[in-house]
Amino acid sequence: MFAPTATLETFNDLYRLLDRARPAGAVTPVPAGNAPPRIFEDLNRIGALQPGWDTYGGSPISVTTLQQSVRVILNVYRTAETLAFKLPEPRLFASGDGKVGLFWRNDKRGSDLEVIIGETTIAAVGSEGGEVYEAEVEADEPLDILTLVHRHIVAA
């Protein structure tokens, strides 16, 4: 049972409180508007991968990368909801170098977009009509990701 100060702490620093209350490596989803619950289920699955999970010596996903991924996803979905932007649901994947990826595809346009989240970096890589593009993405700028999704996946 939470003490009265925990309630105040919840409002002041929810992430710090959740970090203390969960086992190492577990991801605790905080409801964020229209963020699909499957995203957090996939993050938990990806976060449980062991070293060598891909039979090529793939690195496990660090707790820091999982936390960064949750922050980015929550910020993107909150911003999309604020802007009334219907964000297509991405597929999540783990990269062999211990990063979390978000993947969108638009078969009609022949385009795809991957946002790769690491401990300290976020990058976007995609292709459209045979042309490959890359972009650096600021972690605190969810509009960067929303702009890329809109431009290369959603817009006609």
Show the beta-strand stretches assigned E in 31-99. Answer: 91-94
Nearby residues of 108 by Cβ (< 8 Å), 6 or more positions away: none
Note the pLDDT of residue 10.
38
Q: What pTM does this model have?
A: 0.76
Note the pLDDT of residue 22.
55
Q: Measure the CA–CA gap between 145 and 87, rounded to whole angstroms.
A: 10
Tokens 């090529």: give the residue: 56
* Domain spans, the chain: 4-154
Above 60 in pLDDT, residue 31? no
Q: Measure the CA–CA gap between 105 and 124, rounded to whole angstroms.
A: 13
Across all residues in the chain, what is the average pLDDT?
81
The burial of 69, by beta-carbon neighbours within 10 Å (0-12 exposed, 13-18 middle, 19 or more buried), is given as: buried
Note the pLDDT of residue 140.
72
Which tens digit of pLDDT belongs to each residue from 55-106?
999 999 999 999 999 999 999 999 999 999 988 999 999 999 999 999 999 9
Note the pLDDT of residue 33.
58
Above 70 in pLDDT, residue 12? no
Which tens digit of pLDDT belongs to each residue from 115-125?
999 999 999 99
Q: What is the largest CA-CA distance in the chain?
A: 58
Above 80 in pLDDT, residue 141? yes
- At 131, the pLDDT band (50, 70, 90 cuts) reads confident
